[in-house]
Structure 1
Amino acid sequence: MKKTLLAFALASAGMLAIPAAFAQSAPTDNGGWFINGNVGRTAIDHGPYNNGHDTGYALNGGYRWSFTPNFSLGAEVGYNDLGNIRAKNIFNSSPVIAPGKSQLHGWTAGANAHVDLSPSWYLSGRAGLYSWTGHGMSNDVNPINKGLSDNSWYAGAGVGYNITQNVSVGLNYDYFDAKKHSVDLSTDMISASAEFRF
C-alpha cells in the first residue's frame, strides 16, 4: 500500500510538473529577427490555366516588434517561385502546346503579424508589394504567349505551432496578384511552412 501511495504521489508530481515545463519553454517575447520558408501547391483558376496547379516555394526574412506578450508586428522581404502551370483548352480541358506553361516568380516586401492564441498556437497574416516577372498565355480568342513584369500586391494568412521558443511550423494560404495586358497569372498557394527566430 505504501508503495502504491508513493507511486501515486510521484506520478501526480510529474503530471503537475508538465504544465510548468511547457510554461518555461513558452515564448515571453515574440519579437526579433526571423527567417521562414514555404513549400506547397500553387493553383490558377481562370483563363487558359483554369484548374491548373503545380508546386511552388517562398523564402522570407525580416524583423517583428513585440507590442504585447501575444501580439507582434513586423516587416518582411522575400522571394518566391510559383511553378509552371500548363495552359488548357477552355472548351475541352486538353493541354495545349508546351510553351503555353505559365511561369511566375518575384520579390515581396511587406508587413506581417503574429497573434499568439496560446503559448503553442498562433495566427499569422501578411500583405505587401509583389514585384513579379512571368510568362503566360493571354486570355484572348487567339491566345499568345507573353513575357511580362510589373508591381502588384500579395496577401496571406496562416496558423502555426511553436515547437520551441525559436522554431515553429504552420499551414498557410497566400494570394499573389499578377495581371497585365490580358494575361492573368494571379496565383493561390496553400503551403506548409517552417520558421526560425533568433
Structure 2
Amino acid sequence: MKRLIVTAALATLVASPAFAQSYPGVPDEGFYLGAGIGQSKLDNDTLDWLGSIGANTDDKDTAYKVFAGYQFNPNFAVEASYLDFGDYTASASDGADSANIKLGVDGFGFALVGKLPIDGGFSVFGKLGLIAWDASLSGTATIDGVTYRDTAGDSGTDPFYGAGVEYVIDQIMVRAEFERYDLSDSGEDFTIDMISASVGYRF
C-alpha cells in the first residue's frame, strides 16, 4: 500500500505536463485557500506495546488542517498547510493506582502537488513534501496515594506524501485525500495516517 501511494504520487508529479488541459469554470492558475477535517491514526511501537500488556490505548482522533497554495498551471502547484492531528492516549489502573499519558502532534507542511485532470473539473493528484512538527507528551500517575505529573516536548522535520481526488466548479474546490506522515524521533518511528475531506476556494 505504501509503495503504491508513493508510486502514484511520483507518477502524477512527473507525468502531469504531458496531460495538460483545462476545463471551463476551472482556473488554470492562481492562489487558493482551504480547510479540511478527518481522522488521524498513529502507528507506534511503544503505543502498540502498551496495548499488548493491557493498557487502554486510543490511536485515533479527529484531525483538521488549513492550507494555502498557488496553482502554476492545470497540473502543478505548491501548497503550505497547518495540521493538528489530535491526541493519542494510553491509560491503566490497578486498584487505587493509575497512570495515563497523552501525546499531541501538530505541524506545518510544504508540498509539491501534481494533478491529472480527468473530466469536467475532476482531477486526481499526488503530493510530496516535508512537515515541521511539534509533539507534546504529558503524563499523570497516582501510586500509593501520591500523584506525579510530568510533561515533555520535541520537534523535527520529516517527509510526507499523499494522494486524492479533487472537484472544482465555479472556483469552489472539494477534495478527498489520504496522507501519510513518517515522523522519527530519537530512533523511534511515529507514522500518522490521515484521511480527510476539504473545501476551498480558487481565486
Please give the TM-score of this superposition, normalised by the length of structure 2: 0.68
Gapped regions of structure 2 (runs ≥ 5): 1-22, 49-57, 93-97, 139-149
Structure 1 contact 156–175 (Cα < 8 Å) conserved: yes
Structure 1 contact 108–131 (Cα < 8 Å) conserved: yes
Q: Return the structure number with greater relative CO, CA threshold 8 A, min gap 6.
A: 2
Task: Provide the aligned length of Structure 1 versus Structure 2.
Answer: 156
**In 2, distance between residues paired with 1:195 and 1:169?**
6
**In 1, distance between residues paired with 2:38 and 2:26?**
31
Pick aligned residue for 1:160 from 161, 166, 169: 166
Pick aligned residue for 2:177 from 148, 172, 178: 172
1:102 aligns with 2:103: yes
| Alpha-carbon displacement from aligned partner over 1:25-44 (angstroms, at most 9, x marks no partner) | 83354321111212101001
Q: Following superposition of structure 1 onto structure 2, how do residues 86-165 of structure 1 map, counting pairs within 5 Å? A: 86-87=89-90, 97-98=99-100, 100-136=101-137, 146-162=152-168, 164-165=169-170
Q: CA RMSD in A?
A: 2.4
Gapped regions of structure 1 (runs ≥ 5): 1-24, 90-95, 138-143
Offset of residue 65 of structure 1: 0.9
Secondary structure in structure 2 of the residue aligned to 1:30: coil
> Which consecutive aligned stretches of 4+ in structure 1 deviate over 6 angstroms post-superposition?
none
Share of identical aligned residues, percent? Answer: 24
| Alpha-carbon displacement from aligned partner over 1:6-34 (angstroms, at most 9, x marks no partner) | xxxxxxxxxxxxxxxxxxx8335432111
Greater strand percent: which structure?
2
1:59 aligns with 2:66: yes
Aligned to 2:199: 194
Rg bigger for which structure? Answer: 1
Aligned to 1:14: none
Please give the TM-score of this superposition, normalised by the length of structure 1: 0.70
**In 1, distance between residues paired with 2:63 and 2:135?**
14
Over 3 Å counting, the alpha-carbon distance change for 1:187 and 1:81 in structure 2 is same
Offset of residue 182 of structure 1: 4.4
